[in-house]
Structure 1
Amino acid sequence: MSTGGAVAAKGGLSPEQVRRVVVAHEGALRACYESEAQRNPNLRGGLTVSWQIEGSGSVTSASVASSTLDNARVEGCVVRQVRSWKFPTSDTSTNVNYPFKFGVGG
């Protein structure tokens, strides 16, 4: 699993603050993919997830913005993981678009 491009974060947290939390949870995201890749060895593609972080650091909403994986299990697993994450507190909420790549280049 790798992050596939520029992180878009608008609001209280910087893209770097968001990236640090994502990197800390890479293992769980990889597990989402690997459980399905065992069934489908050709599974690969990208997934962009959008989510909102409240000032308290809690994720209030998360959804798939776009996907070339075409695998609802992996997509749902990644979204569930994102919803459970805790981010640093900030003065305002932050909207994030974050690209992930699975099964390609790492």
Structure 2
Amino acid sequence: MPLLLVVGCGGAPPPPPPPPAAPSLPPETPDAGPSEVTSDIGGLNEEAMGRAFQSLDRPIQACFDEATTRNPSLGGRFTLRMRVAPDGNLKWAYLGESDLGDRQLERCVLSSVRDRQWPRPVGGDGLAERGYEIESRSPAKELTEKWAKPAVAKARANAWTCRKGLQGRVKATVHIAPNGRVLGASITPPDERYEDVADCVADAIEKVRFGKVGRRMKLSFDLFW
């Protein structure tokens, strides 16, 4: 069983201090009455978020156990990033800094994250993240982009059709079978908007055929949009 290690845990900073009190109105000016001010980003209770994150460890481990039956080389790092609404529901979640290279696995992890209520933030939405490292049962050898230039060019061309107006630099990671077939692919998005195109990009890359590599390989390369 691959080992699940927490490599980092964090939440949003505490809510900003309240604005300074307004100066007293002159006697002749009528008071307009109290008004309500809501901050866009609030704070999350660190202890409550720690318990909530800990409750994810078992479901995430189950996702990896299932995924490694398809590809025992799966493993790596990722950071779970999320925005929690005042009612405890998620506004969005995505995996950043990921080199997993398997979109099906990522969907399983994100489904575990979305299928639960989170501690309610105070003073606005709450931002939180937690880092993970998964030890591979059978690590794949790293392949260089230089060796796979034609296939990488084809993958970039395929992925271009998925971008839906997004612009930026995105990292793709793929696992390649000994015969050159793509076992799985995923992207590392710079922000939550790319979650809407991640499935399309993974499907596009998985259609590319790499040359015979003789053993399971892992390759990361940039997509420029």
TM-superposed CA distance for 1:43, in Å, is: 1.5
1:60 maps to amino acid:
K
TM-score where L is the length of structure 2: 0.42
Q: Which of residues 10, 21, 39 is equivalent to 2:52? A: 21
**Does structure 1 retain, via aligned residues, the 8 Å contact 2:84–2:121?**
no
* CA distance in 2 between partners of 1:2 and 1:24 (Å): 14
Give the Cα separation in 2 of the matches to 1:82 and 1:21. 10
2:10 maps to which residue?
Answer: 8
Report the counterpart of residue 88 of structure 1 in structure 2: 119
Query: How many residues get paired?
Result: 103
Deviation at 1:35, TM superposition (A): 0.5
2:97 aligned with 1:66: yes
Q: Are 1:46 and 2:48 an aligned pair? A: no
SS at match of 2:65: helix
Quick one: which amino acid aligns to residue 9 of structure 1? G
- Gap runs ≥5 in structure 2: 13-41, 137-225
Which is helix-richer, 1 or 2? 1
Is the partner of 1:4 in helix, strand or coil?
A: strand
- Gaps of at least 5 residues in structure 1 are none
CA distance in 1, matches of 2:44, 2:56: 18
What amino acid does structure 1 have at the position aligned with 2:49?
V
1:36 alignment counterpart: 67
Give me the CA root mean square deviation.
Answer: 1.7
Moved over 6 A (4+): none
Residue 8 of structure 1: CA displacement?
Answer: 2.5
Task: Answer 1 or 2: which has greater strand percent.
Answer: 1
TM-score (norm: length of structure 1): 0.84
Which residue does the alignment assign to 2:130? 98
Look up the SS of the partner of 2:67 in the other structure. helix
Larger Rg: 2
